[in-house]
Structure 1
Amino acid sequence: MTDQRSLPRALIVLLCTASAVVTLAGIRAVGSIIGPVLLALVLILAVAPVRTWLQSRHAPGWTLVAVPLTLVLFLLFGMVAVLTLSVAQMATLASTYGRQFDQLVVQAQRFAAELGIGTQQMNQALKTLDPGKIFELLSGFASGLLGVFSALLLIVVVVLAMCLDARSFSQVLSSQAATGRPRLIQALGSFADKTRRYLVVSTAFGLICAVLDVGALWVLDVPLPLLWGVLALITNYIPNVGFVIGLIPPALLGLLQGGPKTLLLVIASYMVINFVVQSLVQPKFLGDAVGLSTTMTFLSLLVWAFVLGPLGALLAIPLSLLTRALLIDSDPDGEWAAALISGEAPAGGRP
C-alpha cells in the first residue's frame, strides 16, 4: 500500500500567503506599467459589447477596431480633463477661503468660551486647523490618478493592441473552452460579464447621485457644483469610502461659504441621496454581480490602493474579480473559497 503524504494545511496556507505577498510586492514595484495595462483591460471590457454588436451587424473589420478605440479614447481624455480641472480648482480654492476659515476659528473659540470649555488645548487645536491641508490631500488623490493618465501614450498603445487582438483572442478562448481548460475559460467569461455589469450599474447610479448632488449644492449655493458632481461620479467607483471622499470638498466649501448650517445641510443631503440610491435601490439592480462580501470588498480596497495607489482604489472591484477568476473560480476545488469571499453558502451545501 502506497503511503501518500500531503503537506500540512498550515504550511500550504503560509506558502500561499508568502506567494501572494511576493506577487503583490512585484506588482507594486512595476505599478507604473501594470496600472495602465489593467486600466486598459477594464476599458476594453467596458466597450466590448459595442464590438460584439458591430460584429453581429456584419460591420467592416476596421470598424471593430476603430469604434471601440474611439470610445476608449473619449473616456480617457474626458477623465484627464476632469482630473486636471479638479486639481486646478482645488489649488485655487485652497488659497481663496483662508480669511473665512480664520473667522470661523474665532467664532468657534468664542462659542467654546461661552460654554466654559475654551481650554488652551482646544484653542491650540483650532488654530492648527488649515483648510489648505484638506485640499492638499484631495489634490494629491487627483494628482495620483492624473499621474497614471500621464502615461497616456502607453495606455493608448495597449488599448490599440487589445482591440487588434480581440477577435483572435476570442477565437482562442472559444477553442480552448471545449478542449483545453473549460473551467478557466468559464471563469474568465464570468469575470468579464461581472465587470461589465458592475461598471454599467455603478455608472448609471453614479450619474443619478451626481445629478442629485449637483442640484442640492446649487440650491445651497455651494461653489462649483458641477465639478463636485463629477467628483461624486468618479468616487462612486471606490467602494466603501468613495462617498466620504466625494463629500469632503463640497462640505468644506459649504462651511466656508455659508457657515455651519450650510455644512450640515450639505452632509445631510449627501447622506440621504447616498442612502436612498446606493443603499436601497442600487443593490437590487446589482444583485450578486460582484460576488464579494462587504468585508472582502473593503479588504480589496485596502490591498489594491496600497499596491497601485489611487488607481487601485478605483479598480479595486474589477481587480478582485480578476483575481477570483484566476485563483478560485477556475479551480474545481475552490467552491468553499468562493463561498467564503462572497458570503454565500455554496450551491447544494448544508446551511
Structure 2
Amino acid sequence: MIELPRALVVLLTAAAAVVILAGVQAVGSIVGPVMLALVLVVAVSPIRGVLERKGAPTWLQVAVPFLVVLLVLAGMVAIIAVAATQLASIAPTYSDKFAALAAGARAFAAEIGFGTDQIDKAISSFDPSRLLPIAQGLLSGALGAGSALFLIVVLSLSMNLDAPAFTRIIRVAEVERPELHAALTTFASRTRRYLLVSTVFGIICAVLDVIALYIFSVPLPLLWGILALITNYVPNIGFILGLLPPALLALLDGGFSTMLLVILAYIVINVVVQSFVQPKFLGDAVGLSTTMTLISLIVWAFVIGPLGALLAIPLSLLVRALVIDSDPSARFARALVSGEAPPQGRTPA
C-alpha cells in the first residue's frame, strides 16, 4: 500500500472540506432545519430513556418528547413574532428623540472645534424609523416561514419515530464499532450538557439583565432579556449581540449616561456569570478550544446563516464525532481541536 505524503493528505482534506461546505451552503435552507431538528431531538432524548426504563409503551416514548419539541418551536416563533411587533410599535416614537440627540452632538462638536460633516454622515446613515421596516420584515418572515417550520416539525416527528430503532442500532454498534459508538454517545452527552448549562446560565443572565434594565428605565426590558437568553447560545459574540439593542434604546430614551450604565451592567453580569461561574459547571463538556469555537462560529454562520451561529457548537461536535473521534488514529487531530495534550504512546495504525 502506497502511503501518501502528509502535506498531500492535508491539502486533499482541506479541498474536500471546502467542497463539502460549499455544498452545505448551497442547500443551507434544508441543512439548517435538519440540524435544528436533530439537536432538539438529542436534547429531549433523556425523556424517552426515562419512559423506556419505566416500561411506557412505544407510542408514549415518541409522543412525549415530540410534544416537548413542539413547545420549544412554538416558543421560538412566538418570541420572534412578539419581538418584531413590539419593535414595530416603538421605533417611530424615537425619531424626535434621535433628532434632538443629533442636534446635541453637532453642538458638542462645534464647541470642541470639530467639523460637523462626519457627524452628519453618521447621523444620515442611521434613523430609528428604519427599525420599522426591519421589524415588519422580521414579523412577516417569522409568520411566513411556514414551510421551514413545517419541515422542522416533520423532521422532529420522523426522528422521534426512528429514535427507538436507532437506539438499538447504536447498542449493537457498541460491539462491532466501539469507536463510532463512543463518538456518537459523546456527541449526544456533550450536546445535552452544553444546551442545559447554556440555558440555565442564559436564564440567570437574562433575569439579571432585565432587573438592570428595569432599574435604568429602559423600554421593553422583558424583550431584551429574552434576546439575551437567545444570544447566549452564540459563542464568543453572543453577549455583544444581546447588548446592542438595549444600549441603543438607553441612549435614545435616557441619554449617554444611561447607555453607559446599561453597558457597564451587562459587562459586569455577563463577565461574572459567563467567564467565571459558567465554565466551572460546563468544564470540558464542549471539547473545543477557544480558537476552534470562534472558527466554528464564523464557518457555520457563513455556511448556514443565523441558525448556523446558534447551532455552531452542536454542529462542530457532530463533525468532530464523525470525522475525528470515530477514528482511533486521529488522536493528534483530536488534541488540536480540543486544545488538550494527546496521551503518550504510538498512534495506532
Kept in 1, the 8 Å contact 2:183–2:325? The answer is yes
Q: What is the letter of the counterpart of residue 345 of structure 1?
A: A
Rounded to whole Å, the distance in 2 between the matches of 1:145 and 1:310 is 14
Contact 1:40 1:155 in 2 (8 A): yes
Following the alignment from structure 2 to structure 1, what is the Cα–Cα distance between the partners of residues 37 and 175? Answer: 28
| CA distance in 2: counterparts of 1:314 and 1:187, whole angstroms | 22
Q: Distance in 2 between matches of 1:303 and 1:149?
A: 27
**1:292 alignment partner, SS class:** coil
Select which of 107, 110, 129 maps to 1:113.
110
How do 1:28-67 residues align onto structure 2 when only pairs under 5 Å count?
Answer: 28-67=25-64
Q: 1:161 to 1:184 in 2, by over 3 A?
A: same
| Normalised TM-score (structure 1) | 0.93
Q: Deviations over 1:69-123 (max 9, x none)?
A: 1100000000000011112222333322111111101101111111122343344
Among candidates 189, 201, 205, match of residue 201 of structure 2: 205
| 1:72 counterpart residue number | 69
Q: Secondary structure at the match of 2:191?
A: helix
Q: What is the letter of the counterpart of residue 211 of structure 1?
A: V
Q: After TM superposition, list the pairs within 5 Å mapping 1:269-348 onto structure 2.
A: 269-348=265-344
Q: Which of these residues, 237, 246, 253, is aligned with residue 249 of structure 2?
A: 253
Q: In structure 2, what is the equivalent of residue 230 of structure 1?
A: 226
Tell me the TM-score normalised to structure 2 length.
Answer: 0.93
C-alpha distance in 1 between matches for 2:327 and 2:14? 18
* Aligned with 1:161 (options 155, 158, 167): 158
Superposed CA offset, 1:281-303 (max 9, x none): 00000000001111111110111
Letter in 2 for 1:115: I
**Equivalent in 163, 182, 187 of residue 186 of structure 1:** 182
Aligned mates of 1:333, 1:105 — CA distance in 2: 62
Separation in structure 1 between the aligned mates of residue 214 and residue 25 of structure 2, nearest angstrom: 41
Q: For residues 143 and 264 of structure 1, do their structure 2 counterparts lie closer, same or farther at Cα, with a shift above 3 Å needed?
A: farther
- Aligned-pair distance for 1:137? 7.0
Aligned to 1:8: 5
CA distance in 2, matches of 1:35, 1:164: 20
CA distance in 2, matches of 1:162, 1:222: 43
Q: 1:120 to 1:165 in 2, by over 3 A?
A: closer
How far off its partner does 1:32 sit?
1.6
Query: Per the alignment, do residues 99 and 150 of structure 1 end up closer, same or farther by CA in structure 2, a change over 3 Å counting?
Result: farther
Contact 2:87-2:131 at 8 Å conserved across structures: no
Query: What amino acid is the match of 2:54?
Result: R
Which residues of 2 match residues 141-180 of structure 1 at below 5 A? 150-179=147-176
Shift of 1:333: 1.1
The aligned amino acid for 1:316 is: A
The offset of 1:270, in angstroms, is: 0.5
- Greater Cα shift, 209-218 or 124-133: 124-133
CA distance 1:142–1:345, shift in 2 (3 Å): farther
User: Where in structure 1 are there 5+ consecutive unaligned residues?
Assistant: none
Specify which of 94, 98, 102 is matched with residue 99 of structure 2.
102
2:332 partner amino acid:
W
CA–CA separation in structure 2 for the residues paired with 1:182 and 1:89: 52
Preserved contact between residue 81 and residue 142 of structure 2 (Cα < 8 Å)? no
Point out where structure 2 has 5 or more consecutive residues left out of the alignment: none
Which moved further from structure 2: 54-63 or 84-93? 84-93
- Give the % identical residues: 60
